[in-house]
Amino acid sequence: MRRSKWLGILAAATFALAGKAVLAADTLTILWAEWDPANYLQELVKDYEKQTGVKVKVETVPWPDFQTKAFTEFNAKGDAYDLVVGDSQWLGAGSTGGHYVDLTEFFKQHNVAKTMAAATVTGYAEYPPGSKKYWAIPLEGDANGWAYRKDWFEDPKEKAAFKAKYHYDLGVPKDYKQLRDIAEFFYRPNEKKYGVALYTDNTYDALAMGVEQTIFSFGGDLGDYSTYKVRGIINSKQNVEALKFYKELYKFTPPGWAKVFFLEDNQAITEGLAAMSMNFFAFFPALANPATNKNAKGTGFFANPAGPGGKPRFAALGGQGVSVVSYSKKRDQAFKWLEWFIRDDVQARWAELGGYTCNEKVLSSEKFRKATPYNEAFYQSMLMVKDFWATPEYAELLEQMNKRMHPFITANKGTAEEALNGLADDWENTFKKYKRYK
């Protein structure tokens, strides 16, 4: 009796483990950051399960830990994840580290470079830049944009007062000078109203994204992405002006705004703190939803304005592509899923659910652009995106930029010239360390 009892338990355990193995074979796991687009993707992949019987699980990690978690798994050559929706800056590290499967053949076979928007192919898929080697399929388009209190802007009293002071009509800012004027106009600390909410968090890329799009729009750049030359570019006159401008905008933010990312910038609108708020488009659905934003009806959106002279105009590229993890034991299934994902009908469904499709046809359609209050601004942004370095050592470059920019912008330490000259030294030393200079 005792023996048969043990045999029974052993049989049950074996059956359970076998069952788990069978289930695992029919389940693909996608790793992404914990935010709404991941929820939309989890909704989308239910269609794939209905059509193929293969379950797809989207596993999420909070943004601040996403990079650490993903690369810890990669470095351990773990097979816990079959696909990863990695940040665009990870392309260099993911490809040269052997963590991503080369998708160049896949791109050719399925004409992906023609069906996806050009900026997304360059930003989310190609490494090195211009090499025509691809490591990800553009999945979630994103860029840095702005939300604003349309109701404040449309208030007749505010319009009259603004016109009287600045001699032009209050409206969506066309350039950075107008952005600054509007921020100054709405800066009223005694009323607990402030002009603008900016990114200042320096734990990942928030501050860098805010500063870089200002730099780009002032006609500056981060460096030469093909030769890695930085001196004379990162510390150019235009960059100095851009950095000083970002610091000046910081004056008009709510108090205690020195460690702020998407959550707080959205709160600046939902709590009625600021007239304008910078954020990635992926976070705007929460602002358009009356359930999460009591000011939703009075909230509008616009793409990053042009530089002070009316040009150029850029938006910091956000967004991610989906890559096949090299260590996955289900590569064939992962490729089948990619083939399904890039279909036009699936891309349209992805956009319907709230995902920011990179499919050129869907993105430029009237239906998509009118689908939400922010889609038009998103579409305009995707035509003018520009990204940070995507080299394998991008994390060091990001950290160095945060170290130089943050004290100057939030703590009045040093000058813009010192910050950028210091950054030029840091980046040059880093590129020398990794033998980027020929």
CB 70 within 8 A of CB 84: yes
Among 37, 145, 173, 254, binds another protein (CB under 8 A): 254
Q: Two tokens at 203?
A: 């734990």
Q: Which stretch binds another protein (CB under 8 A): 91-99, 112-120, 121-129, 148-156?
A: 91-99
- Tokens 């607990």 belong to residue: 192
For residue 407, cis peptide bond before it (omega within 30 degrees of 0)? no
Q: How many angstroms separate the CA atoms of 95 and 1, rounded?
A: 58
Asked if residue 203 binds another protein (CB under 8 A), the reply is: yes
Q: Beta strand 385-386 with 137-140: parallel, antiparallel or unpaired?
A: unpaired
Q: How many angstroms separate the CA atoms of 1 and 7, rounded?
A: 10
Interface mask toward another protein for 361-400; x: CB under 8 A: -------------------------------xx-xx--x-
Q: How many angstroms separate the CA atoms of 256 and 374, rounded?
A: 28
Among 192, 294, 297, 311, binds another protein (CB under 8 A): 192
Residue 98 or 130 with smaller CB distance to another protein: 98
Asked if residue 67 binds another protein (CB under 8 A), the reply is: yes
Rounded to a whole number of angstroms, the minimum distance from the CB of residue 437 to another protein is 18
Interface mask toward another protein for 151-190; x: CB under 8 A: --------------------------------------x-
User: How would you classify residue 16: left for phi > 0, otherwise alpha for psi between -120 and 50, otherwise beta?
Assistant: alpha
Instruction: Give the full edge-to-edge strand order of the sheet including 55-61.
Output: 55-61, 27-33, 83-87, 320-324, 137-140
Give residues 255-294 in contact with another protein (rule: CB under 8 A): 255-259, 271, 273
Q: Is 192 helix (H, G, I), strand (E, B) or coil?
A: coil
Residue 114 or 433 with smaller CB distance to another protein: 433
Rounded to a whole number of angstroms, the minimum distance from the CB of residue 154 to another protein is 25
Amino acid at 353: L
Asked if residue 403 binds another protein (CB under 8 A), the reply is: yes
Asked if residue 328 binds another protein (CB under 8 A), the reply is: no
CB 205 within 8 A of CB 398: yes
Rounded to a whole number of angstroms, the minimum distance from the CB of residue 409 to another protein is 11
| Residues in contact with another protein by the rule CB under 8 A | 67-68, 71-72, 74-75, 93, 96-98, 189, 192, 201-204, 254-259, 271, 273, 392-393, 395-396, 399, 403, 406-407, 410-411, 413
